[in-house]
Amino acid sequence: MGTLAALAVVVLMVSGLSAAAGNPVSATSASGPLRMSENMPAFYDGRIVQTVYEQGYFVGSNATYNSSYGPQPLQNQSAIGVNPQVFPSPQDHGATLWVLVPWWGPSSAPYAPAYNPAAYGIKEHCAPANVQICFDHPATIFVPGLGVVPLPGHDHLINFLAHGDDIWWNVAVDLILNPSAWPTSTSHGWTGITSLAALNAAQKAGTSSHDLPTNVFLNFRTVVDQKVGSTSPSGSLLQSLETMPSFLSGRVVQTVYEQGYYVGTNVSHNSSYGSQPLFGNAAVGTNPTTYPAAKSSIKPFYVLVPWWGPSATPYAPAYDPSAYGIQLDCAPATVQVCWDHPATIVVPGLGNVPLPGHDHLIGTNADHKDIWWNVVVVLVTNASAWPMISVFGESGIVSVAALHNAQTLGEASAGLPTNVFLNFYVQ
């Protein structure tokens, strides 16, 4: 079984799983690198303010289900030109996050500045997703006329501070059609679109498109003082999306995801992308060099990947579980990115691939605390060891003891390290 395999997780088929999210006992404090990654700038009233991202993104289209992926609801694709049908919170704050996208490239590729800002002499708050996915942002978006593309580089603009409350913001996209309108720092101050008034003026002047609706919501609070404001209650669909099952000691427990994933590699910076720290890719076989919290508070999170396909494509069951008669907790990223999971992962011998479908296994409930977990990938090499739930009970790798037994029998690989951390608590 050569080196390699992607981040993925365990199989289950459980009916009647509760999607109601409880409250964790306590949360783990964030490390310096985590705080850097979840802080991003936004323009407000002609100046820059800091925003702190508190939760994964939400796609406001009706969720669907597929029997190959257990109880996981599947969100639709994030898209421009689509109005949301469902909302992440019952409290509609009417908050808009204007996303400014540079769009003055050649007629055959007007989006070129978004993906190569250095060539156009500009900076962007967020790097394009072919370079690095911004914290709690989608990796791809559907653009009419282009199809599904990596999220373009962009700047953020807001029109109120929400008293520092942690709320959801619906994204509106504005294509900036002339470099003179792009936000630019000079020795005399900012020029270009750094306020809603300036955006409105640019739209009237024809240097910006009108607002383009999206079905995308991002969650953050603005830093207005040391006090952290209130948090918007979750809608029922959001609760179902952020609640996923895991195996623990031979039974299924529900886990509630509280924060975007973290990649534990050294922070780097690129002058084309403003103040955004850039992390390395999620990777199998790579040990972390930075951590989202104190190492002593982090627990192992076993991700089980079905790996018994033909010798040329042993990963086939992870991407096509129905062909192998199995179910997966999380769908492969070719179908849907699981809540707060990376979209891609580097697998030795395969390169940077879509996150494979997988199941989850934990060895503790961590006293029901909201903590960070380091992903350990296990390749399940025999179908008989795959977790199964039936009227006769559970079988396969449904506990850490069962995992160790499968490894002894040669039905599962040793644990493969990753630099990926997920954040959740066990209900």
- DSSP codes of every residue in 32-70: HHHHHHHEEEEEETTEEEEEEEEEEEEE-S--B--GGGT
Query: For 146-290, where are the E strands, in sequence order?
Result: 147-150, 155-158, 167-176, 184-186, 189-191, 212-222, 243-248, 251-263
pLDDT of residue 23 exceeding 80: no
- Phi, psi angle pair for 323, to nearest 5°: -70, -20
pLDDT tier, 227 (very low <50, low <70, confident <90, very high otherwise) = confident
- The CA–CA distances, whole Å, from 282 to 82, 242, 287, 365 equal 30, 20, 10, 25
What Å distances lie between residue 349 and 6, 100, 381, CA to CA?
A: 10, 38, 17
| CB 164 within 8 Å of CB 367 | no
Please give the residue range of the domain that contains residue 52.
32-222
In a domain, 19, yes or no: no
* Residues 72, 74: Cα–Cα separation, whole Å: 6
What's the number of domains the chain is made of?
Answer: 2
pLDDT confidence of 22, banded at 50, 70, 90? low
Instruction: Check residue 415 and give its pLDDT.
Output: 98
pLDDT at res. 422: 97
Residues 286 and 149 in one domain: no
Residue 114 has pLDDT above 90, yes or no: yes
Residue 58 lies in a domain: yes
Task: Choose among 376, 421, 387, 374: nearest CA to 306.
Answer: 387
Tokens of 115: 């993906």
At 209 the pLDDT is 98
Does residue 1 belong to any structural domain of this protein? no
* pLDDT for 58 beyond 90: yes
Q: How does pLDDT run across 136-189, given as a tens digit for each residue?
A: 999 999 999 999 999 999 999 999 999 999 999 999 999 999 999 999 999 889
Q: Please report which confidence band the pLDDT of residue 323 belongs to, taking 50, 70 and 90 as the band edges.
A: very high
Closest to 399 (Cα-Cα) out of 381, 416, 412: 412
65 assigned to some structural domain: yes
Asked if 240 and 211 sit in the same domain, the reply is no
Please tell me the predicted confidence (pLDDT) of residue 8: 31
71 with 217, same domain: the answer is yes
* One domain, residues 256 and 368: yes
**pLDDT beyond 90 at 14:** no
- Of 363, 372, 353, which is closest to residue 415 (Cα–Cα)? 363
pTM: 0.91
> What value does the mean pLDDT take over residues 364-384?
97
pLDDT at 9 over 80: no
**Lowest mean pLDDT: which of 78-92, 220-234, 343-357?**
220-234
Same domain, 306 and 350: yes
Residue linked to tokens 């990376």: 342
CB 298 within 8 A of CB 373: yes
Res 211: pLDDT:
98
Higher pLDDT, 267 or 3: 267
Based on the fold, state whether residues 412 and 263 are members of the same structural domain: yes
Which of 191, 222, 253 is the C-terminal boundary of a domain? Answer: 222
Count of other CB atoms within 10 angstroms of residue 327:
25
My answer on whether 303 and 205 are in the same domain is no
Task: Please indicate, yes or no, if residue 27 is contained in any of the structural domains.
Answer: no
Question: Are 217 and 241 contained in the same domain?
Answer: no
Query: Which of 165, 191, 222 is a domain's end point?
Result: 222
Q: Which amino acid is at 59?
A: V
For residues 246 and 393, state if they share a domain. yes
Backbone phi and psi for residue 366, each to the nearest 5 degrees, phi listed first: 50, 35
- Same domain membership, residue 400 and residue 322: yes
Same domain, 365 and 421: yes
pLDDT of residue 21: 45
pLDDT of 267 reads 78
376 lies in some domain: yes
**Mean of the pLDDT values across residues 246-262?**
94
Of 188, 222, 256, the residue that ends a domain is: 222
What are the CA-CA distances from residue 307 to residues 58, 227, 273, 356 (Å)?
31, 48, 38, 10
φ, ψ for residue 273 (rounded to 5)? -120, 40
Assess if residue 101 is contained within a domain: yes
Q: Which of 167, 164, 162, 136 is nearest to 233 (CA)?
A: 167
Which run of H or E residues covers position 406? helix 400-408
Is the pLDDT at 1 greater than 50? The verdict is: no
Residue 254 sits in the same domain as residue 378: yes
- In the chain, what is the greatest distance between 2 CA atoms, to the nearest angstrom? 73
Across all residues in the chain, what is the average pLDDT? 91
Percent of the chain with pLDDT over 70: 94
pLDDT tens digit sequence for 263-279: 999 878 888 998 778 88
2, part of any domain: no
pLDDT band at residue 253 under the 50/70/90 scheme: very high
